[in-house]
Structure 1
Amino acid sequence: MFKKILVPVDGSALSHAAGELAADLARQHGAQIIGVYVIDPFPYIGIGEASAVGLQAYLAEAKAAADQALSDLKAVCEARGVPFAGDTIERNVTYEGILETAQAEGCDLIVMGSHGRKGMQALILGSVAQKVLTHAKVPVLVVKPRT
């Protein structure tokens, strides 16, 4: 039924749980997992050398976090014998990056956590999962925390 499953990751425990569920589904359906980590662009535009140093530090930390989250998902997929491809993209609006990736990769399902590491910001601005649910053109499976 499913051939390509998109799993947006952010390094959170719930993102990991969504990856495990997606990998289990992919194994059952003979599908591939596409992982994506969306980096927010550098939030400060300053003048002078300090801005360049800040940008480099920010991008280095963001890329390290992306690499760790995607490596975690890759390990989950490898443990289940599921094909995996992952990428890090940079977008101003996270949910748009997720939806663009789903369309570009021809994904037929998105599996994601109900919330990630955004904390209070998610409550104020609305969650990424909510926006993906609202705008996705393919089914979305939202993984909730276990209580």
Structure 2
Amino acid sequence: MFKKILVPTDGSAVGIKAAAMAAEIAQGSGGQVVGVYVIDPFPYIGIGDASAVGLQSYLNDAKRVAGAALAVVAEACRARGVPFAGDTIERNMVWEGILETAQAEGCDLVVMGSHGRQGVKALILGSVAQKVLTHAKQPVLIVKE
């Protein structure tokens, strides 16, 4: 039924659970999984060399965390014999990056965790999952802990 499933991940426990569920769905339908990790832009704009060093350090750390999170999704797919492709992107709004990826990749389902690592910030600003649910053009499966 679903041939291309997008799994946005942040490495959280519920994100890992969503990856396993997406891999299982893809296995049952002969589909594939596309993983995406959306990096928030560097939060500080400084002047001089310090900002360049800070930016590079931030991006290196963010890419390391992204790689680890996507590796978990890849392993869930590998264990089930499901094709996987993953990417790390940078966007101001994480939910927009998720939806842009779903559109660009031609995904027909988004499987994601109900909440990630944003905690209180998500309660104030609205969760990424809620924004994806509100704006997605394809079905969205929200996995809860």
Please state which band the TM-score falls in when normalised by the shorter chain.
over 0.9
Aligned length: 145
Tell me how far apart the structure 2 counterparts of residues 48 and 101 of structure 1 sit (CA, whole Å).
34
Question: Who is 1:96 aligned against?
Answer: 96
Q: Which residue of 2 aligns with 1:125?
A: 125
2:67 corresponds in structure 1 to: 67
> What is the correspondence of 1:44-59 to structure 2 with a 5 Å cutoff?
44-59=44-59
Amino acid at match of 1:95: W
* Corresponding residue SS for 1:87: strand
Letter in 2 for 1:99: L
Gaps of 5+ in 2: none
Letter in 1 for 2:97: G
Distance 2:120 2:70 in 1: 24
Aligned amino acid, residue 110 of structure 1: V
Structure 2 CA distance for aligned equivalents of residues 62 and 4 of structure 1: 26
**Partners of 2:115 and 2:7 in 1: CA distance:** 13
Aligned to 1:138: 138
Q: State the SS of the aligned residue for 2:36.
A: strand
Which structure 1 residue ranges, 4+ long, deviate > 4 Å from structure 2? none
Deviation for aligned residue 1:125: 0.5
* Residues 15-64 of structure 1: CA deviation (Å, up to 9, x unaligned): 00000000000000000000000000101110011111110110010000
TM-score by length of 1: 0.98
What SS does the aligned partner of 2:55 have? helix
TM-score of the two chains, using structure 2 as the length reference: 0.99
* Unpaired runs of at least 5, structure 1: none
**What is the distance in 1 between the residues matched to 2:105 and 2:48?**
39
CA distance in structure 2 between the partners assigned to 1:104 and 1:47 by the alignment: 35
* Residues 36-47 of structure 1 aligned to structure 2 (within 5 Å): 36-47=36-47
AA paired with 1:74?
A
SS at match of 2:87: strand
